[in-house]
Amino acid sequence: MKTLFVCALVFAFGLPAAPGQQSVVDFARRDTSVHDPSTIVKCNGEYWLFATGRGIMSRHSKDLRQWSAGPVVFSNVPAWTTNTIKANHGHFWAPDVFYLTNRYLLYYAVSSWGKRDSAIGLATNPTLDPADPAYQWTDCGPVIRTTEQDDCNAIDPAVIQCPDGQLWLAFGSYWTGIKLIQLNPLTGLRAATNSPVFSLAWHESIEASYVHWHDGYYYLFVNWGQCCRGIRSTYTIKIGRSREVVGPYLDKDGVDMLHDGGSLFLKTAGAFVGPGHAGIVSAGDKDWLSCHFYNGASNGIPTLGILPLRWNPDGWPEAELPPN
């Protein structure tokens, strides 16, 4: 489930400060506005992310520390969204962005609170730089749609490309859990209207999936618990891995994530409350975990976290928590 737009801060922990600049703790006081951040991508020397908001909000940064507001994706929302999902009025959730060949693919959820009457849409753009003459978002319509008659929920899209070039989309929230469908890499849309829907993970409160390929494994990150309650949020991030993108995803104890498995990856620690919506970005020679959390030092304001990420000798990722 996702929340309405709220103001947020950015917290970039562990990123080295450039000469003459303030510490990363000082950068945590610079306002941005973000909830449900997408994975972070780079375009023309700048990092970009997208987030929940009316028309889909964007933010950009040259150093992953200082973030500025970018343009919304849709100044006029696509007609199909409000025509198809009557309860939605242009406030889109939890986008994800991916660069493929010559364009950026942006997936986003169209839904309303607590409903399976949902759809995942796609928009494309040859560039994320609004100063580029080629900049223009093209609406490609819905990728997948669910109704109250379905046993899953088409929200929280997360795109993954396999080493062989196959393109897949993970999604899902509550009900029967996290699902996966194959995409057509030429269009970015579903491979076929009746293509298989694979089940990846289940828990009574699960959403915000993210799949990442690393060194022979696909790693599935999911959220358990409740978001959007400020310091009362109970989100934790759980993880499992698989040799195949379609699963099975097993946790560190060998329990299938389809059977309530999932090893704890990240949880509340002091003012770092309810982390969720994981993504991984490489910068320099390091990997970093992006997520949001609810800032216990600022009345639970949703905050962008960028944490150092390392891979332990057993191949599992570990994020370094910020100081309290």
CA distance 257 to 210: 14
- Amino acid in position 240: G
Give the pair of three-digit tokens for residue 171.
């999604």
Q: Is 148 a catalytic residue?
A: no
Catalytic-labelled residue, pool 36, 117, 156, 256:
36
Catalytic-labelled residue, pool 96, 117, 156, 207:
207
Name the phi and psi angles at 26, rounded to 5.
-65, -35
Name the phi and psi angles at 201, rounded to 5.
-155, 150
Q: Which residues, in sequence order, are bridge partners of residue 159? A: 169
Name the phi and psi angles at 298, rounded to 5.
-135, 50
- Amino acid in position 296: G
DSSP state of 249: -
> ∠ CA(247), CA(236), CA(269), 5° rounding?
140
CA distance 283 to 203: 33
Q: Is 207 a catalytic residue?
A: yes
Which amino acids are annotated catalytic? 36, 207
